[in-house]
Amino acid sequence: MSLTDTAPRQEATNDAGAAAPQTAGPQTAARPETTDATGPLKDLLVLDLSRILSGPFATMTLADLGAEVIKIEQPGQGDDTRQWGPPFQGDEAAYFLAVNRNKRSLAVDLKSPEGLEVVRELARRADIVVENFRPGTAARLGLGYEELSKDNPGLVYASISGYGQTGPDALRPGYDAIAQARSGIMSVTGETDGPPVRVGVSSADLVAGMWATIGVLAALHEKQRTGQGQWVDISLLDGSVSWLTYVSSGYFASGEVPRRYGSAHPTIAPYQAFATADGFVMVAVGNDGLWRRFAQELGDAALAADPRYASNPSRVAHREELIPAIEAIMRTRTTEDWVRALDEAGVPVGPIQTVDQALVDPQVLARGMVAELDHPTAGPMKVVGCPVRLTRTPASVRTAPPVLGQDTDQVLASLGLDTDRIQALHSSGAVQ
């Protein structure tokens, strides 16, 4: 249940029943009241004990879908990614800004008994807890699933780690690049004659965050039937292995170890990037009918009539002869020319855009995938929007990522702490 359902954000009641005024702790920044969420999760409270990328990505998704997310951060430091720059916008690292919108920041020292009790009280009220400590760390702090679920049996508790809560490597630290390497993803990424390549974004972290979100939603659904929460165990390695899909299926079927194909597809041809006169395009010829249209647009009658290329299995078998012939033709026209011509012919094609080009793509903008926010210290900023489209309860990008401790006093007041108690917590260093 959201804290806003139990106590107003602007005003809380102290033990004597009087309204408790809020105090401004160190480094808190003025911020407009959170806009009411419209998403399907707007009645849920999420306690976010995570940092870096996988956990914050999951909790940001829950926040975009309406949940109230309270991010726990270490006083004086905060989430590690607050220092991961350049680039910075104002004093804020762009990395941190990427995955922490729609959240409130409570800066509290988990090594302080007083601070730890504040977090435990939040956990008693929370619907969801998300953490990505190394296995065992949360339990040692008294914030593990077994500890918190005793006071809150309906708690849905998600743990994201490098290797999961079980298995011989459970206690090893988790890193995105290592998960990509061990999962097999890197072995099939890169040019055919080049070394294995890490995916250009932190795919292991992001897929783990996505699976955590899916797991949380599944556990919430089951809770509707039983009233009981459960522990959602997600690992970076598991998530990346799950992405092998048809690559692993092909290995199981054939026994052949998959290899790298660059931008090409192992079982479809031509299905890859081609250099043009001034850039690159991606062409996806997924069936024989599309091949005939593509071959006609290439303008090479001999290529179109060659029986070696009449079917997809044959084209795959003869890709070493086919692809160089196509490459030579593709270089004779510009990217814009090819995109226009192949679009008109009904052949799937798209320009390979740089990030700056992708973020002003008319389709991307029309879908609301770039949103603007006003940050309390960094000023106007842009973020990538939420891709989930719901017709009745839409996701929303409401508030900028918080500065460290921005909402500490507000959250403490919502727990019923009076002014003197809040100030004492500041004075002791338990909160910021």
Q: Which residues are marked as active site?
A: 205
> What is the DSSP-derived secondary structure letter of residue 188?
G
Say how far apart CA 219 and CA 65 lie, in whole Å. Answer: 16
Type of residue found at 46 = V
Inter-axis angle of helices 288-298 and 335-345, to 10 degrees?
A: 130
For every residue of 15-54, which 3-state class applies, written as one string? CCCCEECCCCCCCCCCCCCCCCCCCCCCCCEEEECCCCCH
Among 149, 152, 133, 60, which residue's Cα sits nearest to residue 103? Answer: 60
In whole angstroms, give the CA distance from residue 79 to residue 137. Answer: 17
User: Measured between alpha carbons, how far is 428 from 422 in angstroms, rounded to an integer?
Assistant: 10
Q: Which two tokens stand for residue 414?
A: 């919502």
Amino acid identity of 391? T
SS3 state at 183: helix
Q: How many CB atoms lie within 10 A of CB 297?
A: 18
- Please check whether residue 324 is in contact with residue 275, taking contact to mean a CB–CB distance below 8 angstroms: no
Q: List the beta strands (DSSP E) in 172-270.
A: 231-235
Strand intervals (E) in 339-401: 349-351, 370-375, 379-384
Token pair recorded at residue 346 = 């009904």
Alpha-carbon distance of 102 to 62, in angstroms, equals 9
Whose tokens are 């976010």? That residue is 48
Q: Which tokens sit at 258?
A: 């998959």
- Per-residue DSSP letters for 76-131? TT-SGGGG--SSEETTEEHHHHHT-TTEEEEEB-TTSHHHHHHHHHHHHH-SEEEE
